[in-house]
DNA sequence: AGTCGCATTAATCACTCGATTGATTTATTC
DNA sequence: GAATAAATCAATCGAGTGATTAATGCGACT
């Protein structure tokens, strides 16, 4: 079926090594010799397999993305906007989304170095996309945006499309910024183990997001 | 008074040039010859004034920060937590803070290249602080945190310190992430002039933040 | 005039960069 | 088992890196 071996060997070893090194020291801060050495091969293989350093970087990003589609694809799709249980489903879907996304963001903190590198690379790329791979990035992001927007649409049918988009950006931003600024937050708190408890973090983000979105269910005492 | 000229000339020219180049291509992607050339001077001046490239980078960051203290210092300080108008003042103070911070984040988008570079550099530094200058960074951030926390404390006296901190991080994160991901957002929307209207953006962030924080004043219909 | 000190310069140092080459090893096919 | 192709390697290329040096320009003070 699939072209089985065909020297996928040194190629994937190079990609894995590249992910780690690029994440740790950036594109310009990393030499191809360094990458090749960690991959137990020669720097010439970078040109052989990827047509140079830039090609290796793109390929590394692509490999990263193809391993990281989990949180959205696992979530159940929503019933039609008009259906009876739609609102409740959307509410639950949004909470699941936040939990899944945040869990994925955080569980790779310090445990699996490749997962951790993936987040760093993705964050860097989101903030300053390397032109050669920006198309790759937005293609990878689109399903997230779609899923999130479809939830919000059900929960706030009164909002226009611009406003829904802004809501989605904000909810997404809460989580991404939290993850990105973990280093600074720990410095600011003087506590290297800052988040302490992931469950609290998730609950905070769900509460803040739902209230921020303006769904009545999230208000502290709607009937008093 | 101040030691007037004394060759502040090439020194400041180097710093300004460094801000631009470091922001555009990163620390590793920028050569000192390149910086010096733009500053109409010689690369040897980097060693002469700043003891090398790393020193120039730190000095550039420091210069950046000293020009960027405006939004917090302009804001009025709050009355004591127990005082009569304290709650109203804190509410107003938080809104002013969001407006000031967001305005500063956005007005430098594409207009003054140095201001724009400042944001990029600061974002990069916040996400992956260069060890030599991380102390500089958190020192610059602390007054923001302090001001924000003092507002939140009045508005949500029921929360513990951890929770207040999380609220502050979230409100801050809304704005920072929005600014950082402007490039991607424009790509996602296919609209290079995405935000269109700054006033709307500010209003959205104020609304989302106040609701997210959970202040009753921000709920859509508290008495119905 | 002399000279001291700071600022500036061109030239150079040792080194690393990404890319390429040509030879060599390994796998595949007839 | 010879022939062909794919994969890998050590060695090298020119360009560019940050840092250093020695020489020079220039104003102030004596």
User: What phi, psi does B3 have (nearest 5°)?
Assistant: -60, 110
- Nearest partner of B104 among B72, B62, B57, judged by Cα: B72
Asked if pLDDT for residue A78 goes beyond 70, the answer is no
Could you tell me if B52 lies within 8 Å of chain A, comparing CB atoms? no
CA distance A86 to B16: 55
What letter does residue B181 receive in the DSSP assignment? T
For residue B22, the chain A residues in CB contact (below 8 A) are none
With residue B1 as reference, give the H or E element that holds it. none
For A151-168, how does the pLDDT look when each residue is reduced to its tens digit (9 = 90+)? 999 999 999 999 999 999
- In sequence order, what are the residues at sequence separation of 6 or more whose Cβ sits closer than 8 angstroms to the Cβ of residue A40? A13
Could you tell me if A201 lies within 8 Å of chain B, comparing CB atoms? yes
Contact A164, A175 (CB under 8 A): no
**The pLDDT of residue B101:** 86
Asked if pLDDT for residue B223 goes beyond 70, the answer is no
SS3 label, residue B27: coil
Contact B178, B101 (CB under 8 A): no
Q: How far is CA B166 from CA A103, A121, B103, in A?
A: 17, 25, 23
Is the minimum distance from the CB of B173 to strand D below 7 Å?
A: no
The CATH architecture to which B69-218 belongs is Orthogonal Bundle (1.10)
For residue B192, the chain A residues in CB contact (below 8 A) are none
For B16-49, how does the pLDDT look when each residue is reduced to its tens digit (9 = 90+)? 999 999 999 999 999 999 999 999 999 999 999 9
B129 → closest Cβ in A165, A184, A211:
A184
Say which residue, A65 or B28, is predicted with more confidence.
Answer: B28
A126 → closest Cβ in B162, B181, B220:
B181
For strand D, the positions having any atom within 7 A of a protein Cβ are: 6-11, 16-22
A169 → closest Cβ in B165, B167, B185:
B185
CA distance A94 to A206: 8
Residue A33 pLDDT level (bands cut at 50, 70, 90): very high
With residue A217 as reference, give the H or E element that holds it. none
Q: Which of residues 130-159 of B touch A (CB under 8 A)?
A: 134, 137-138, 141-142, 145
**Which residue is nearest nucleotide D9, judged by alpha carbon to C1' distance?**
A42
Asked if pLDDT for residue B191 goes beyond 70, the answer is yes
Q: Give the whole-number percent of chain A exceeding pLDDT 90.
A: 52
Optimal mutation site among B129, B161, B212, interface A, most CBs of chain A within 10 A: B212
**The pLDDT of residue B8:** 61
Between the two ends of chain A, the Cα-to-Cα distance in Å is: 65
Per the CATH hierarchy, to which homologous superfamily does domain B8-65 belong?
Homeodomain-like (1.10.10.60)
Average pLDDT over all residues of chain A: 85
For A180-204, how does the pLDDT look when each residue is reduced to its tens digit (9 = 90+)? 888 889 989 999 998 889 999 999 9
Q: Give the whole-number percent of chain A exceeding pLDDT 70.
A: 85
Q: What residues does each domain of chain A span?
A: 8-66, 70-218
For A91-130, how does the pLDDT look when each residue is reduced to its tens digit (9 = 90+)? 999 999 999 888 888 876 556 777 778 878 888 888 888 8
CATH topology for A70-218 is Tetracycline Repressor; domain 2 (1.10.357)
For residue B29, the chain A residues in CB contact (below 8 A) are 27-28
- In sequence order, what are the residues at sequence separation of 6 or more whose Cβ sits closer than 8 angstroms to the Cβ of residue B149? B164, B165, B168
For B108-152, how does the pLDDT look when each residue is reduced to its tens digit (9 = 90+)? 655 677 777 888 888 888 888 888 888 888 888 888 888 899 999
For A40-64, how does the pLDDT look when each residue is reduced to its tens digit (9 = 90+)? 999 999 999 999 999 999 999 999 8
The CATH architecture to which A8-66 belongs is Orthogonal Bundle (1.10)
């Amino acid at each position: 079926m699939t072209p089985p071996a065909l020297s996928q060997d040194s190629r994937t070893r190079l990609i894995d090594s590249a992910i780690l090194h690029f994440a740790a020291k950036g594109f310009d801060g990393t030499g191809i010799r360094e990458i090749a050495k960690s991959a137990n091969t020669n720097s010439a293989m970078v040109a052989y397999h990827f047509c140079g350093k830039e090609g290796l970087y793109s390929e590394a990003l692509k490999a990263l993305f193809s391993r990281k589609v989990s949180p959205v694809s696992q979530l159940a799709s929503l019933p039609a906007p008009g259906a009876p249980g739609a609102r409740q489903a959307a509410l639950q879907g949004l909470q699941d989304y936040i939990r899944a996304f945040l869990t994925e963001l955080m569980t790779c903190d310090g445990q699996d170095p490749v997962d951790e590198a993936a987040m760093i690379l993705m964050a860097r790329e989101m903030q300053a996309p390397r032109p050669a791979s920006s198309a790759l990035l937005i293609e990878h992001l689109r399903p997230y945006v779609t899923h999130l927007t479809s939830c919000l649409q059900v929960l706030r049918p009164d909002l226009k499309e611009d406003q829904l988009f802004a809501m989605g950006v904000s909810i997404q931003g809460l989580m991404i910024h939290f993850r990105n600024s973990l280093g600074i937050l720990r410095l600011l708190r003087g506590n290297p183990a800052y988040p302490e408890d992931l469950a609290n973090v998730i609950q905070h983000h769900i509460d803040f997001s739902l209230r921020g979105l303006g769904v009545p269910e999230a208000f502290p005492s709607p009937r008093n």
